[in-house]
Amino acid sequence: MFTIEAPKRWTNISYANIATTSPAAHRAAAEWSDALARGGAAEFGGDAEQSALLPLRRATARLLACGVEDICVGSSATALMSSIAWAVAPEEGSNVASTQASFPSTVYPWSRVAESFGAEVRLAAHDDDMYTDPSSVMALIDEQTAVIVLSHVEYSNGQRYDLEAFSKAAKEVDALLITDATQSMGMVPIDAPNSGVDAMVASGYKWLRGSFGAAVGYVSPRLRELNPGLVGFRSHVDMWDMRPDRVDLPQDASRFEYTTLHFGAALGLAEAVKELDDFGIDEVWEHDLGLADLIISGARELGFGIASPTNEAERSAIVSLRPPEGVDSDAVAFDLQEGHGIIVSSRSGLIRVSPHIDNVPEDIARLISALGSTLP
């Protein structure tokens, strides 16, 4: 059991949507904002700005079992993914393989780049439960595949992909494996170097329990040879040596950091990730899956179907429930929030429940009781 010092107005079981922010993250961000309001540059000068992202890089490196040199920070996962996509620039006649179930921001940057360079985007189909057979993705990969782009965990139903298997498939055709870990990082244990991914990005405001305005990326040595697709004054190895006639990029992952961002959000996210590091990601994973098991068993007794994978190889703590015949998922989510103070998500006709370390078994018991009251 984790001890989280936070008053509850709502019972948030929707970390796959917008997380309850870590109190430590909120304090750090608020302290930064207050200091800026007091004194501007006197409170946050050039040296402070240059080093502001180091705490988050260090905490994320610990979480992903990699080096600090492998980590970069951005304002959003989309910005980082876009910069990587333009850096890779798949050539004419090549293809990018992904899934129809992916969150749009995972695929859109690659669609835009493919359009510009004459590449093809191939998307594997899903079934009515939003499940994508991994073999259908594998079937898209051929000698012309330049990139495989996956959500490590699908946002719609919590399906988790075997990164090592896809890394092996990518290497066989000399392709890259790029992943969006927004729905896994902070919940699923990830050993980034040994997973075989070439790059991984994640928003900070979901399972990492930060706020809007900060995201993190892992960039393997292979991709650190590329020029980022987005550059700015932070791109130069010495950001305060502001000559516009050249850009000397850092030799580590920070070459993908390019502009001013919400430093309070980054400092806050660093504190949230440190909490996860201190709790231990294996313990977090065990806790979250235990709560997911309670949701699955309780919902089944009420007649809800389980759209999420439940086998150990593909499951996560995201549980998508299919309501009984004639029951609308939007209406159920609305009633849970307005009538019971319980926050879940309604996605694609499914009720998505995603417990995390701020939740306890009593929260799940309240959810199951409230779900029962929504049924006719």
297 in the same domain as 226: no
Chain mean position to CA 189: 13
> Residue 367: which pLDDT band, with cuts at 50, 70 and 90?
very high
Measured CA to CA, the distance from residue 331 to residue 347 in angstroms comes to: 12
**34 contacts: CB under 8 Å, gap ≥ 6:** none
Q: pLDDT > 90: what percent of the chain? A: 80
Q: Is the pLDDT of residue 369 over 90?
A: yes
Q: What is the domain-level CATH number for residue 331?
A: 3.90.1150.10
Judge whether 5 lies within some domain.
no
Of 255, 278, 301, the one marking the end of a domain is 278
Mean of the pLDDT values across residues 271-289? Answer: 97
pLDDT value of position 376: 82
pLDDT value of position 9: 65
Query: 99 or 260: which carries more pLDDT confidence?
Result: 99
pLDDT value of position 260: 85
The model's pLDDT over 232-271, given as tens digits with 9 standing for 90+, comes to 888 888 888 888 888 889 999 999 999 888 899 999 999 9
297 in the same domain as 264: no
> Residue 17: which pLDDT band, with cuts at 50, 70 and 90?
confident
Judge whether 71 lies within some domain.
yes
220 in the same domain as 285: no
Closest CA to 202 of 260, 155, 259: 155
Judge whether 6 lies within some domain.
no
202 in the same domain as 325: no
323 in the same domain as 242: no
pLDDT value of position 5: 56
| Residue in the block written with tokens 């260090």 | 58
353 in the same domain as 231: no
Of 278, 302, 319, the one marking the end of a domain is 278
Q: Is the pLDDT of residue 147 over 70?
A: yes
Query: 153 or 374: which carries more pLDDT confidence?
Result: 153
Mean of the pLDDT values across residues 352-375? Answer: 95
Q: Is the pLDDT of residue 342 over 70?
A: yes
360 in the same domain as 324: yes
Measured CA to CA, the distance from residue 80 to residue 134 in angstroms comes to: 25
Q: pLDDT > 70: what percent of the chain? A: 97
Judge whether 337 lies within some domain.
yes
Query: 43 or 369: which carries more pLDDT confidence?
Result: 369
239 in the same domain as 350: no
288 in the same domain as 274: no
Judge whether 135 lies within some domain.
yes
> Residue 8: which pLDDT band, with cuts at 50, 70 and 90?
low
17-124-205 Cα angle (round to 5): 15
Q: Where are the alpha helices (DSSP H) in the chain?
A: 23-39, 46-51, 54-63, 77-88, 104-117, 134-138, 163-172, 192-195, 263-279, 281-301, 329-340, 361-374
Q: Is the pLDDT of residue 7 over 80?
A: no
Q: Output DSSP code: residue 227.
A: P
The model's pLDDT over 190-205, given as tens digits with 9 standing for 90+, comes to 999 999 999 999 999 9
Q: What is the domain-level CATH number for residue 190?
A: 3.40.640.10
pLDDT value of position 41: 72
Total structural domains within the chain: 2
Judge whether 54 lies within some domain.
yes
| Helical axes 361-374 vs 329-340, angle rounded to 10° | 120
Kindly compute the dihedral angle of the four CA atoms of residues 85, 87, 89, 95, in this order, to the nearest 10 degrees: -50
User: What's the pTM value of the predicted model, to 2 decimals?
Assistant: 0.94
> What would the two tokens of residue 282 be?
């294996």
Measured CA to CA, the distance from residue 316 to residue 309 in angstroms comes to: 8
263 in the same domain as 330: no
Judge whether 159 lies within some domain.
yes
> Residue 38: which pLDDT band, with cuts at 50, 70 and 90?
confident
pLDDT value of position 246: 85
Q: Output DSSP code: residue 351.
A: E
**E-strand spans in 125-243?**
145-151, 176-180, 199-203, 215-219
> What would the two tokens of residue 249 be?
């990029």
Measured CA to CA, the distance from residue 301 to residue 314 in angstroms comes to: 23
> Residue 368: which pLDDT band, with cuts at 50, 70 and 90?
very high
Judge whether 291 lies within some domain.
yes
179 in the same domain as 85: yes
130 in the same domain as 191: yes
pLDDT value of position 348: 85
Closest CA to 357 of 15, 7, 8, 9: 15
* Three-state DSSP state, 177: strand
pLDDT value of position 210: 95
Closest CA to 321 of 349, 356, 285: 349
Give the domain extent around 119: 23-278
Beta bridge partners of 201: 180, 217
Mean of the pLDDT values across residues 120-149? Answer: 97
pLDDT value of position 39: 81
**Cβ atoms of residues 219 and 256 within 8 Å:** yes
Mean of the pLDDT values across residues 135-163? Answer: 98
Measured CA to CA, the distance from residue 226 to residue 86 in angstroms comes to: 10
> Residue 2: which pLDDT band, with cuts at 50, 70 and 90?
low
118-123: long-range pairs with CB below 8 Å, 24+? 118/91, 118/92, 118/93, 119/90, 119/91, 119/92, 119/93, 119/94, 119/95, 119/146, 120/94, 120/95, 120/96, 121/95, 121/96, 122/95, 122/96, 122/97, 122/98, 123/98, 123/99
Mean pLDDT of the chain: 93
Of 263, 278, 293, the one marking the end of a domain is 278
**Cβ atoms of residues 103 and 155 within 8 Å:** yes
